[in-house]
Amino acid sequence: MKHMAEKVKARAKAKAKQREEIEPASSPQTAQREYYKAKYQTLEDLPGVGPATANKLRALGFKTVEALATAPIRFLEQNGVGEDTAKKIVTAARKGMALEYINGLELQEIQKNKLKMTTGCSPLDRLLNGGLETMSITEFYSEFGGGKSQICQQLAVMVQLPEAEGGLDGGCLYIDTEHVVRPDMFIRIAKFRGLDPDEVLKRIIYAEAYTSEHQAELLSNADEVIKVNNIRLIIIDSLTGHFRAEYLGRENLAPRQQKLNQHMHKLIRLARAFNAVAIVTNQVSATPDSFFSKDPVPVGGNIVGHIAHTRIYLRKGRENLRVAKIVASPFLPEGEVPFRITSTGITGDELGV
Ligand SMILES: Nc1ncnc2c1ncn2[C@@H]1O[C@H](COP(=O)(O)OP(=O)(O)OP(=O)(O)O)[C@@H](O)[C@H]1O
Ligand SMILES: [Mg+2]
């Protein structure tokens, strides 16, 4: 028993020392991130991973230690990685990222890594209590023309701002399922913010998803792209469009929900592993439920709703006026604010809220 207590003490001491070593050289925010950073840089650095296993893991979509640390062991086993190996390497990857059992103080330390990024629209920032939080998913849903894609395109630029200006000094990964993204919109938003449009475009990594399967595959293979490009914002616009079109009929509801569930889990794991903001958009459906509800109901039902995240409904107003309403959030109170869609992005300062 005594031996165990000593071991725990020694480990805490070593961790504290590790933190001390990091802190003097960096700003408080970078220091927090260093604490969270993986100890192992490549898959081959992990104990017990040789070239063959590394290749297999890459083929399964785990190209970085960060992604592996949040991988379900069962998924690796189901895909031909031996049970012992799967357990060993995921555990090692988790240890390297402090994703093991931790005490409350250590949890507090990790939670400090959560950052907020501005939306560039002050009423929305106020609704979000300062901005969008990293390591969590925010969903915008509305009927067509609600402003979802406009918000996404603005965020793809805002994330690039330095932290002092409310950004995350990172890139954006944009998975577009509806072929709506237009570079000239990014250019207009960038110019309006006084940024070099070419530099901004370079940091937006774009992929068009042609089917739901392709969409899921793009995300499953995203970890290396995220790491190499310092992606701090992952957008899936729209999350549900393909799923809704492909899985028609009641008999396909269960498989659709299962796929959506896996997709959302992958997204939250990536957001946690890379301390990134995750944004999904969603349409509304005309389900019988909406008869009883004042607001339309988002597509995806319980699965999309069950993964704890912030859901924001966008309601159309006159002309370019919109209202954003928090419908559910694990950490934000309910509320709503107006904003406007303009040719240089979304704004609302003049609305005085
Ligand atoms: N320059 C502009 N000035 C004012 N309003 C604009 C401007 N450009 C676009 N809009 C408005 O933005 C709306 C399109 O918004 P957006 O594409 O973000 O909708 P969405 O919620 O993504 O819709 P969908 O469900 O079809 O994907 C248009 O209907 C238009 O009203
Ligand atoms: Mg859209």
Closest residue CA from atom 1 of ligand 1: 343
Helix ranges restricted to H, 97-240: 104-111, 122-127, 148-158, 183-192, 197-202, 212-220, 223-228
Q: What per-residue confidence (pLDDT) applies to 286? A: 67
Q: Based on the domain organization, do 214 and 264 belong to the same domain? A: yes
| 11 within domain boundaries | no
Same domain for 83 and 122: no
* pLDDT for res 21: 39
The CA 162 to ligand 1 mean position distance, Å, reads: 28
**Which of 124, 144, 179, 184 gets mutated to test ligand 1 (max ligand atoms within 8 A of its CB)?**
144
Q: Are residues 36 and 158 in the same domain?
A: no
Dist. CA 241–CA 251, nearest whole Å? 18
**Are residues 90 and 234 part of one domain?**
no
For residue 314, give the ligand 1 atom closest to its CA.
21
194 and 50 fall within a common domain: no
Q: Note down the domain range covering 76.
A: 28-94
CATH number, domain with residue 69: 1.10.150.20
Residues 61 and 172 in one domain: no
At which residue do the structure tokens 């940091």 appear? 203
147 CA → ligand 1 middle, Å: 5
Whole-number pLDDT of residue 210 = 92
- Mutational pocket test of ligand 1: of 150, 179, 187, 238, the residue with most ligand atoms within 8 Å of the beta carbon: 150
Cα 174 to averaged position of ligand 1 atoms, centre (Å): 18
Q: Is the residue at 157 inside a domain?
A: yes
Do residues 273 and 70 lie in contact, with contact meaning Cβ atoms separated by under 8 Å?
Answer: yes
**Cα angle: 112, vertex 133, 236; to 5 degrees:** 140
89 and 130 co-located in one domain: no
Helix/strand/coil percent split, the chain, to 5: 50, 20, 35
Give the residue among 143, 134, 109, 153 at the shortest CA–CA distance from 309.
134
Which residues share a beta bridge with 233?
172, 277
For the CA atoms of 289, 292, 295, 300, the dihedral, rounded to the nearest 10 degrees, stands at -10
**Residue 216 maps to a domain:** yes
Specify whether 64 is located in the same domain as 195. Answer: no
Rounded to the nearest whole angstrom, what is the distance from the C-alpha of residue 235 to the centroid of ligand 2?
Answer: 12
Domain final residue pick, 64, 94, 124? 94
Distance 334 CA to ligand 2 centre (A): 24
pLDDT in tens, the chain (353 residues): 445 556 555 655 555 454 443 333 334 344 344 444 557 788 998 888 999 999 999 999 899 888 888 888 899 999 999 989 999 999 888 876 655 566 787 777 777 889 999 999 999 999 999 999 999 999 999 999 999 999 999 999 999 999 999 999 999 999 999 988 999 999 999 999 999 999 999 999 999 999 999 999 999 889 889 999 999 999 999 999 999 999 988 888 888 988 999 899 899 989 988 999 999 999 987 655 555 556 788 888 777 777 878 999 999 999 999 999 999 898 899 999 999 999 999 999 777 66
In a domain, 264, yes or no: yes
Residue 182 and residue 273 share a domain: yes
CATH value at residue 184: 3.40.50.300
> Which helix (DSSP H) or strand (DSSP E) does residue 260 occupy?
helix 253-273
Q: Is residue 100 part of a domain?
A: no
Supply the pLDDT for residue 296. 80
Residue 20 domain flag? no
The whole-model pTM stands at: 0.79
Q: Reduced to 3 states, what is the DSSP secondary structure of residue 219?
A: helix
Ligand minimally distant from the alpha carbon of residue 299: 1
In the structure, which protein residues have their CB atom closer than 6 angstroms to any atom of ligand 1?
142, 144-150, 178, 180, 283, 320, 341-343
Name the residue with the closest Cα to ligand 1, atom 14. 145
Q: Given this model, what pLDDT does residue 214 score?
A: 94
**One domain, residues 199 and 278:** yes
- The reply to whether 333 and 224 lie within a common domain is yes
Q: How far is ligand 1, taken at its centre, from the CA of residue 248, in Å?
A: 27
Total domain count for the chain? 2
121 & 268 share domain? yes
Q: Which atom of ligand 1 is nearest to the CA of 238?
A: 27
Q: 318 in a domain, yes or no?
A: yes
**Residue 18 lies inside a defined structural domain of this protein:** no
Residue 301's region, left for phi above 0, alpha for psi from -120 to 50, else beta, is left
Indicate which atom in ligand 1 lies nearest the CA of residue 147: 18
Structure tokens, 263:
């997709």
Q: Which of 63, 94, 125 is the last residue of a domain?
A: 94
Q: Ligand 2 mean position to 79 CA, how many Å?
A: 35
